[in-house]
A and B are shown apart, each in its own frame.
Chain A
Amino acid sequence: MHDKTLTQLAAAMSAGELSSVELTHLMLQRIAAQDAALNSFVSVTEEAALAQAKVADERRAAGDAGPLTGIPIAHKDIFCTQDVLTSCGSRMLENFIAPYDATVVANLQAAGAVMLGKTNMDEFAMGSSNETSYFGPVRNPWDTETVPGGSSGGSAAAVAARLCVAATGTDTGGSIRQPAALTGITGLKPTYGRCSRWGMVAFASSLDQAGPMTRSAEDAALMLAGMAGFDERDSTSAQRPVDDYAAALSNPVKGVRIGVVQEFMGEGLAAGVASSVTAALDELRRLGAEIVEVSLPNAGLSVPAYYVVAPAECSSNLARFDGVRYGHRCADPSDLEDLYKRSRSEGFGPEVKRRIMIGTYALSAGYYDAYYLKAQKVRQLIAKDFRQAFEQCDVIASPTTPDTAFRLGDKADDPVSMYLQDIYTIAVNLAGLPALSIPAPASGGMPVGLQLIGEVFDEARLLNVAHQLQSVTDWHQQAPAGFE
Chain B
Amino acid sequence: MSLSSDDVAKIAHLARLALEPNECETLGRELSKILDLVAQMDEVETASVMPMAHPLEMAQRLRPDEVGESDRRARYQANAPAVEDGLFLVPKVIE
| B12 nearest CB neighbor, chain A only | A357
Separation of A99 and B79 alpha carbons in the complex (Å): 9
B46 within 8 A of A: yes
Q: Which of B17, B37, B55, B90 has the most CB of A within 10 A?
A: B55
Contact, CB under 8 Å: A336 / B33 = no
Contacts of A334 in B (CB 8 A): 91
Contact, CB under 8 Å: B79 / A374 = no
Contact, CB under 8 Å: A323 / B14 = no
Contact, CB under 8 Å: A99 / B75 = yes
Q: Which of B8, B16, B43, B50 has the most CB of A within 10 A?
A: B16
Separation of A368 and B42 alpha carbons in the complex (Å): 14
Contact, CB under 8 Å: B46 / A378 = yes
Separation of A377 and B54 alpha carbons in the complex (Å): 12
Given A356-B15, A357-B8, A416-B33, the answer on whether A308 and B51 have CB atoms closer than 8 Å is no
Contacts of A344 in B (CB 8 A): 15-18
**What number of A-B contacts does a CB cutoff of 8 Å give?**
160
**CB-contact partner of B14 in A192, A342, A360, under 8 A:** A360
Q: Which of A189-236 contact B (CB under 8 A)?
A: 191-193, 206, 232, 235-236
Separation of A378 and B40 alpha carbons in the complex (Å): 11
Contact, CB under 8 Å: B80 / A333 = no
Separation of A305 and B46 alpha carbons in the complex (Å): 13
Q: Which of B42, B46, B82 has the most CB of A within 10 A?
A: B46
Contact, CB under 8 Å: B79 / A357 = no
Contact, CB under 8 Å: B55 / A431 = yes
Contact, CB under 8 Å: B63 / A232 = yes
Q: Give A304 Cβ to nearest chain B Cβ, in Å.
A: 4
| B76 nearest CB neighbor, chain A only | A99
Separation of A191 and B17 alpha carbons in the complex (Å): 35
Contact, CB under 8 Å: A339 / B91 = yes
Contacts of B54 in A (CB 8 A): 206, 236, 432
Contact, CB under 8 Å: A374 / B41 = yes
Given A304-B41, A354-B31, A357-B27, the answer on whether A336 and B15 have CB atoms closer than 8 Å is no
Contact, CB under 8 Å: A416 / B37 = yes
| B27 nearest CB neighbor, chain A only | A357
Contact, CB under 8 Å: A337 / B16 = yes
| B40 nearest CB neighbor, chain A only | A304
Convert B48-91 into 0s and 1s, putting 1 for each residue whose CB lies closer than 8 angstroms to a CB of A: 01111111101011010000000010011111111000001011
Given A301-B40, A415-B33, the answer on whether A324 and B90 have CB atoms closer than 8 Å is yes
Contacts of A327 in B (CB 8 A): 79, 81
B30 within 8 A of A: yes
Contact, CB under 8 Å: B46 / A381 = yes
A345 within 8 A of B: yes
**CB-contact partner of A307 in B38, B44, B49, B53, under 8 A:** B38
| B36 nearest CB neighbor, chain A only | A416
| A429 nearest CB neighbor, chain B only | B55
Chain B interface residue count, Cβ-Cβ cutoff 8 angstroms: 51
Contact, CB under 8 Å: B49 / A381 = yes
Contacts of B61 in A (CB 8 A): 235, 239
Contacts of B18 in A (CB 8 A): 338, 341-342, 344-345
A419 within 8 A of B: yes
Contact, CB under 8 Å: A303 / B37 = yes
| B14 nearest CB neighbor, chain A only | A360
**CB-contact partner of A329 in B16, B40, B75, B81, under 8 A:** B81
**CB-contact partner of A360 in B15, B30, B33, B43, under 8 A:** B15
Separation of A344 and B60 alpha carbons in the complex (Å): 32
Separation of A156 and B70 alpha carbons in the complex (Å): 37
**CB-contact partner of A335 in B15, B43, B55, B91, under 8 A:** B91
Convert A368-409 into 0s and 1s, putting 1 for each residue whose CB lies closer than 8 angstroms to a CB of B: 000101111111110100000000000000000000000000
Q: Give B44 Cβ to nearest chain A Cβ, in Å.
A: 6
Contact, CB under 8 Å: A193 / B34 = no
Contact, CB under 8 Å: A360 / B19 = no
Q: Which of A414-430 contact B (CB under 8 A)?
A: 415-416, 419, 430
Contact, CB under 8 Å: A315 / B15 = yes
Contact, CB under 8 Å: A380 / B50 = yes
- Beyond the given pairs A329-B82, A336-B90, 16 more chain A to chain B contacts, judged by CB atoms under 8 angstroms and listed by A's residue number, are A95-B79, A96-B79, A192-B55, A301-B40, A324-B80, A324-B81, A335-B93, A336-B91, A345-B19, A357-B8, A357-B12, A358-B35, A375-B41, A377-B52, A380-B50, A430-B52
13 A-B pairs within 8 Å (CB atoms) are namely A99-B72, A307-B38, A327-B79, A336-B93, A348-B17, A354-B30, A357-B11, A360-B15, A378-B46, A379-B51, A380-B49, A381-B46, A415-B33
6 closest Cβ contacts across the A-B interface? A432-B55, A376-B51, A329-B81, A326-B79, A341-B18, A377-B46
